[in-house]
């Protein structure tokens, strides 16, 4: 039995204009999620963030990221797609959750500092993240989020978590994602990272060609182009006019 928290994503309705005008979104049928780790891959502008954000908002996360009980907004840019989305839920409810957008992680960090600045009898929220996120590098704060804040049995949605991460940190992240997945967590991750994408047993969904479809690791553009570039660096640079 599929024991994931989100088992299927589909459209309740189709409207005109953005975001249905994005080919991969407009053609969305029933997207079945089959593995604890699902990746969204595809060219810039293919709709990965739009769909991930709509899933997040439909689930109850703040559109800018954070955990489910964080409601703040520094700008209101999310698309109305979440209204048209149907999420089929599995038999269990997660005990933890986080929506990470590399673009607005800074705002989540600021929001945590603001909450901690208010008088409260509760422990400082930032201690759950191993201290102030503003006092860490981006890579360090992501590692702290993975290791300290995320506790398993969670639904975790990450948009390009590799932004600003070294290869070492990405490898550490892979191992931590596996630990959390073994503790009954589900991940949906939009990524351009050939390292994250290599997670064994993950389902990779490509947004290229106007339709969302499963693809093997070795058939992704990310794998092919990185591999080709590293093996043929001079030829490729020459093609670019160097």
Sheet containing 85-89: order of strands: 31-32, 6-11, 85-89
Does 50 engage in binding with ligand ADP (CB under 6 A)? yes
Residue nearest to Mg ion (CB): 49
Nearer to Mg ion by C-beta: 7 or 62?
62
Shortest distance in whole angstroms from residue 58 CB to ligand ADP: 15
Alpha-carbon distance 185 to 156, whole Å? 7
Does 209 engage in binding with ligand ADP (CB under 6 A)? no
Binding partner of 154, given Mg ion, ligand ADP, none, CB within 5-8 angstroms per partner class:
none
Does 49 engage in binding with ligand ADP (CB under 6 A)? yes
H helices of 32-137, in order, are 48-59, 81-84, 105-117
Measured at the CA of 167, the angle between CA 161 and CA 170, to 5 degrees, comes to: 40
Sheet containing 96-101: order of strands: 96-101, 154-159, 186-190, 37-41, 203-206, 213-214
Alpha-carbon distance 187 to 197, whole Å? 12
Does 48 engage in binding with ligand ADP (CB under 6 A)? yes
Does 46 engage in binding with ligand ADP (CB under 6 A)? yes
Nearer to Mg ion by C-beta: 41 or 49?
49
The residue behind tokens 């990524």 is: 191
Coil, helix or strand at residue 51: helix
Would you state the structure tokens that stand for residue 42, as one six-digit string? 């595809």
Does 22 engage in binding with ligand ADP (CB under 6 A)? yes
What is the footprint of Mg ion within residues 32-51 (CB under 5 A)?
49
Nearer to ligand ADP by C-beta: 129 or 206?
206
* Site map 48..77 versus Mg ion, x via CB under 5 A: -x----------------------------
Give me the residues that bind Mg ion (CB under 5 A), please: 49
Give me the residues that bind ligand ADP (CB under 6 A), please: 18, 22, 42, 44-50
């Amino acid at each position: 039995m599929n024991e994931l928290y989100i088992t299927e994503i589909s459209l309740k309705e189709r409207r005109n204009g953005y975001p249905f005008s994005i080919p991969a979104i407009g053609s969305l049928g029933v997207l079945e999620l089959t593995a604890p780790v699902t990746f969204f891959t595809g060219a810039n502008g293919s709709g990965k963030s739009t769909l991930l954000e709509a899933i997040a908002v439909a689930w109850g996360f703040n559109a800018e990221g954070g955990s489910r009980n964080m409601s703040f907004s520094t700008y209101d840019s999310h698309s109305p797609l979440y209204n048209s989305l149907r999420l089929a839920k599995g038999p269990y409810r997660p005990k933890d959750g986080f929506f990470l957008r590399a673009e607005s992680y800074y705002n989540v960090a600021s929001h945590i500092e603001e909450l901690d600045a208010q008088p409260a009898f509760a422990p400082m929220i930032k201690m759950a993240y191993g201290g102030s996120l503003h006092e860490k590098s981006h890579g360090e704060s992501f590692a702290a989020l993975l290791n300290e804040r995320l506790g398993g049995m969670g639904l975790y949605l990450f948009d390009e978590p590799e932004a600003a991460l070294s290869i070492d940190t990405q490898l550490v992240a892979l191992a931590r994602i596996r630990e959390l997945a073994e503790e009954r967590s589900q991940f949906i991750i939009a990524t351009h990272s050939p390292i994250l994408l290599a997670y064994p047993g993950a389902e990779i969904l490509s947004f290229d060609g106007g339709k969302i479809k499963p693809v093997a690791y070795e058939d992704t553009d990310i794998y092919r182009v990185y591999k080709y570039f590293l093996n043929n660096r001079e030829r490729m640079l020459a093609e670019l006019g160097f």
